Amino acid sequence: MNDPKPEPTNPRIAPPARVDGTDAFEPTESPQLRAFAPLCSVFRRFLKSRDLKYTQERADVLDAIIARDGSFEAEELLLDLRARGHDVSKATVYRTIRLLLDAGIITQSLFDAKQSHYELIYGREPRDCMVCMKTGRRIEFTNRELTALRDRICRELGWQAVGHRFQIFAVSPPDDPVV
Amino acid sequence: MNDPKPEPTNPRIAPPARVDGTDAFEPTESPQLRAFAPLCSVFRRFLKSRDLKYTQERADVLDAIIARDGSFEAEELLLDLRARGHDVSKATVYRTIRLLLDAGIITQSLFDAKQSHYELIYGREPRDCMVCMKTGRRIEFTNRELTALRDRICRELGWQAVGHRFQIFAVSPPDDPVV
DNA sequence: CTTGGTGCAAACATTTTGCAGCACA
DNA sequence: TGTGCTGCAAAATGTTTGCACCAAG
């Protein structure tokens, strides 16, 4: 459709935080390099490994995800894309999301049963969250202790941790202090 | 550490494990009593507190949930009920599930984006789980350390924990030992 | 008796899919 | 230049709702 973007897009990629236990990528790079590599080339590599194509639309979708700072719903993405003049169809958005999930670049985080929330995880630390059951307020945080506990649990069972999802259901105090 | 069952329908209710921070029940009983009370009377009390009725259908649904050992999908429940000759409509099943969620008796756990999974939690310890990203195998467990960590996180922020959901995404070893 | 509950079917919202033409490698 | 990709619209899925009749308290 319009403006071709080779592969600039790469905001705040964090240091290695994800053990890639899946067979998603060709094992030709060090984990270091992989974690710091721009997401679009990670995605491109994933696609190539499956003989799939890196199309304009797929690049646009990934771009929109990054612009959202990693947390989004399918519908939001669709609107964002439309607003930017990148007209990608709903079907393609969903198809691309599926690929990004397979690639381990994003995860699905379901809060309300309504629609899926997705989140960029590749190269980022896992985000844990706490939801107030009265007000619905959500706080996100990263807890290294939790990640360590997760790894310990896995190790004891001989599994290898890839990621996790932690949600606390709680009640915020009446005054509801902002964190 | 379990079942003192004073009334009918009530399989393996565990000791108090849930702080009820919501305004679901009338505060006339001690937490102890509440936690050990049979689920149906818990539910009945909840309904009464909202001027709702304890109908045959609602009792049947709760029964079917208990019979499933607490983990179920809406559709499964519907089939179970039908098999037992308790013909409850789909609409009523969903409506009852909503009530049980509000009452804090069950929670929604979404694994695949497809349908909701629900789980009995009232009076039970939170179940954490680990999913293998290759084979899809799921292991459930209870980790007190995690619950303690959860409570600590809440306390530091002045919140009160009500429950949590913890899922680990991992890769099981090639030999995939059974736990 | 009064209020809320139920079943049914239609409505809804989200996600998936079949197909004909288009574009990347 | 040939696969694979896209958009469209229709289908599929899971859940909710409006309505007329029914039942719990």
Give the tokens for residue A149: 């506990």
User: Which is more confidently placed, B173 or A43?
Assistant: A43
Give A177 or B49, the one with higher predicted confidence: B49
In this prediction, residue A179 carries a pLDDT of: 38
pLDDT of B63 > 50? The answer is yes
* Selected residue with higher pLDDT from B79 and B3: B79
Q: Could you tell me if B149 lies within 8 Å of chain A, comparing CB atoms?
A: yes
C-alpha B106/C-alpha B70 separation (Å) is 8
Q: Give the DSSP H/E element, type plus range, for residue A149.
A: helix A144-157
pTM over 0.75: no
**C2 C1' to B96 CA distance, Å:** 22
- pLDDT interval class at B163 (50, 70, 90): confident
Q: Describe the strand order of the beta sheet including B117-120 as a list of residue ranges.
A: B71-73, B117-120, B106-109
DSSP E strands, chain A? 71-73, 106-109, 117-120, 128-132, 138-141, 160-171
Q: How many helices (H) and strands (E) does chain A have?
A: 6, 6
Name B91's Cβ contacts closer than 8 Å, sequence gap at least 6: none
What is the model's pLDDT at position A120? 86
What's the pLDDT at A127?
A: 81
Which nucleotide is closest to the Cα of B60 by its C1'?
C6
pLDDT tens across B119-154, in order?
888 878 778 888 776 666 778 888 999 999 999 999
pLDDT at B14 over 90: no
Q: How far apart are CA A25 and CA A50, in angstroms?
A: 9
Please indicate whether, in this complex, the C-beta atoms of A171 and B113 are within 8 angstroms of each other: no
What residues of chain A lie within 8 A of the CB of B177, using their CB?
A: 157-158
Q: What are the start-end ranges of the H helices in B50-132?
A: 56-67, 74-83, 90-102
Name the stretches of chain A with pLDDT < 50.
1-36, 177-179
Q: Give the pLDDT score at A33.
A: 39
Q: Is the CB of B114 under 7 A from strand D?
A: yes
Percent of chain B with pLDDT over 90: 39
Whether A130 and B172 lie within 8 Å, measured CB to CB: no
Under the banding of pLDDT at 50, 70 and 90, the label for residue B43 is very high
